[in-house]
Amino acid sequence: MSLLGSVPCKRAYYYCGRCGHGLAPWDRAVGLTARSFTPATERLICLAGTLSDGFEEASTKVLPEMAGLKVAETTVQRTTEAAGDRVADHLHAGGTFAFPHRWNWHKDALGRTCAYVGIDLTGVRQQAKNGGKAEGRMPYVAMIFNPVAELPADAPHQPPASARMQARYLCGLYDLDQLGLELRKQAGQVGMDQAEVWIGLTDGGNGLEEFVRRNFPRDPVLILDFWHASEYLTELGQVLYPSDEETRQRVVGGRVGLQNGRRPAPKAGGHALAGIRHRHGLPSPSIVQERQRTMASLLAPFRPDDRGRLNIGSTNGRDAYTLPISRQQPRPRTGRKRGPMRRI
């Protein structure tokens, strides 16, 4: 079966009377699979089986709409699972995906070539048999990437106009040791050891920075992805001012200044909450205590040393413009009044 539908053909078939098996050499020569799919058809079936909400949806809705293919639900399931088994066998045998290709690592404002490592977790919903409830799963998503720095107009190390972002990704239900092994293979394929500076970008989650240090031990520069921090602070504003949108926007948006590109320095502490309570008139102590517990859980990922990881505008050798464009922030303004949310 091809993407254009069934294509009838005649070919020789050979049968072995001793072992009871047969084969058609022409199938292998033209790339037909064990289920008589062309490579493009099998690829489309696997994509539909993987990305749809279920094999039934892939069979009855997605494939007929995409290519006019009529494939049974069980065939979609078996084809998709067989592809997954081949991927697993390939990885267990020490194989990698894509071909070795050394990247030309882009430079930062000081002219140093920089290689980036990123790692995070993402949620994937699960469904039990017969549509029952099931706990979601959290696969890791990791990448080796080569972003194009956005330097000032007068910077001496401007990237060429043809420069493009490069990346290699890994995603799966790995443990961190397995993930580290596979990610190092990808790093070796793109020549990461040729970059002068290694930079690790995480959201500060448990064990992620240690993962970068352990698997890329050449003194990596660790940077906190504070887009995640801003999400926590947004939730914090909802806890502190659940019914006062104007105050919440003024304190969280204005004081922290994410919208204006000023660096936050989130750090948990009861004194900061007390300052907010007295200054802005929070409700009764019992309510404040409940909110304080929620606040502590929201700010738990951030430790006192996070200030250093957020200080990307410094001149201590770990300067700004080593971050990818989506995470760069200008230098902080001086002389601005520091509100309670800034102290947090």
Based on the fold, state whether residues 211 and 233 are members of the same structural domain.
no
Q: Rounded to an integer, what distance in angstroms lies between the CA atom of residue 259 and that of residue 21? A: 68
In a domain, 9, yes or no: no
Residue 102 domain-assigned?
Answer: no
Q: Which residues contact 146 (CB under 8 A, 6 or more apart)?
A: 103, 105, 106, 115, 116, 165, 166, 167, 190
Is 101 contained in some domain? no
* Confidence (pLDDT) at 306: 52
Statement to judge: residues 158 and 63 lie in one domain: no
Q: Looking at residue 112, what is its pLDDT? A: 93
Confidence of residue 31 (pLDDT cuts 50, 70, 90): confident
Residues 252 and 230: beta-carbon distance below 8 Å: no
Do the domain assignments include residue 8? no
Domain enclosing residue 182, as ranges: 114-223
How would you list the strands of the sheet with 114-121, edge to edge? 166-172, 140-146, 114-121, 197-202, 221-224
Reported as a pLDDT band with limits 50, 70 and 90, residue 332 is very low
Q: How many domains does the chain have?
A: 3
Please, what is the average pLDDT of the chain? 76
Answer whether residue 145 shows pLDDT above 90. yes
Residue 215 pLDDT grade (very low, low, confident, very high; cuts 50, 70, 90): very high
Is 178 within the bounds of a domain?
A: yes
Q: What is the DSSP string of 72-116?
A: -HHHHHHHHHHHHHHHHHHHHTT--SS------PPB-TTS-BEEE
Specify if 7 maps to a domain: no
Cα–Cα distance measured from residue 294 to residue 340, given in angstroms and rounded to the nearest whole number:
17
% of the chain residues with pLDDT over 90: 31
The Cα angle at residue 227 between residues 225 and 232, in degrees rounded to 5: 110
**pLDDT tens per residue, range 238-286:** 777 777 777 777 766 554 444 344 444 444 444 444 554 455 454 445 5
Residues 47 and 155 in one domain: no
Asked if residue 99 is part of any domain, the answer here is no
Residue 53 DSSP code: S
Q: Is there a domain that residue 83 lies in?
A: yes
Asked if 243 and 214 sit in the same domain, the reply is no
β-strands 22-23, 221-224 pairing: unpaired
Tokens of 87: 């991927």
Poorest-pLDDT segment among 37-41, 44-48, 123-127, 311-315: 311-315
Both 325 and 263 in one domain: the answer is: yes
| Residue 305: per-residue pLDDT | 52
| pLDDT digits 0-9 by tens, 161-203 | 899 999 999 988 889 999 999 999 999 999 999 999 999 999 8
- The domain boundary residue, chosen from 169, 198, 223: 223
